[in-house]
Amino acid sequence: MFQNFIDRFVHWCYYSKDYAFVRDSKLAIPLLQSLHLIGIMLVLGTTVILNLRLLGLGFGRFQLPELARQLLPLTKIGVVIATITGIMVFLPDPTRYAHNSTFVRKMVLFCMALLYQFVVFGRIVHQDPAARSKTSNTALAFFSLTLWFGTGWAGRAIAFFQ
């Protein structure tokens, strides 16, 4: 049953007239990848700023909860842009990506980063960093940055590794 669904999905990706505008265009994939990078930059940029503030390494004029209220909507927009464009890049050739172990690692890291960002980190940044030890804040920031940059590096490595 599930395999039948996968086979139909892959067939649709390769032969659908609905998606031919991406598959058959020389400019569609580069344009989508450029938009994908814009989404990634929004996510990484806002995440780096919040983590630097969490560590007390910058943006000291701003309270972390206030900075988070201003930046998290941009993070969410970046995640939406990166996810939609990533799916659109994936669809023309799903078997190429699905069989690439680096792509699989990227997806695992991406899911972990999303969970951490919106379940754990989202709560952390709405609290005063002084309420936790410097070691705790460092560990929280390190984990956040490792997940997001790991996702980005794995995405870049897709072109070079199988």
pLDDT of 36-73, one tens digit each?
999 999 999 999 999 999 998 988 898 999 999 999 99
DSSP one-letter code for 91: T
Residue 148 confidence class, pLDDT cut points 50, 70, 90: very high
DSSP one-letter code for 93: S
Which pLDDT does position 131 carry in this prediction? Answer: 83
Q: Is the separation of the CB atoms in 158 and 93 below 8 Å? A: no
Residues 72-116 have pLDDT tens digits of 999 999 999 999 999 888 888 888 888 889 999 999 999 999 999
* Cα–Cα distances in angstroms (integers) from residue 78 to residues 24, 42, 71, 127, in the given order: 27, 5, 11, 23
Where are the domains positioned within the chain? 2-157
Q: At 162, is the secondary structure helix, strand, or coil?
A: coil
DSSP one-letter code for 121: I
Query: Which pTM does this prediction carry?
Result: 0.85
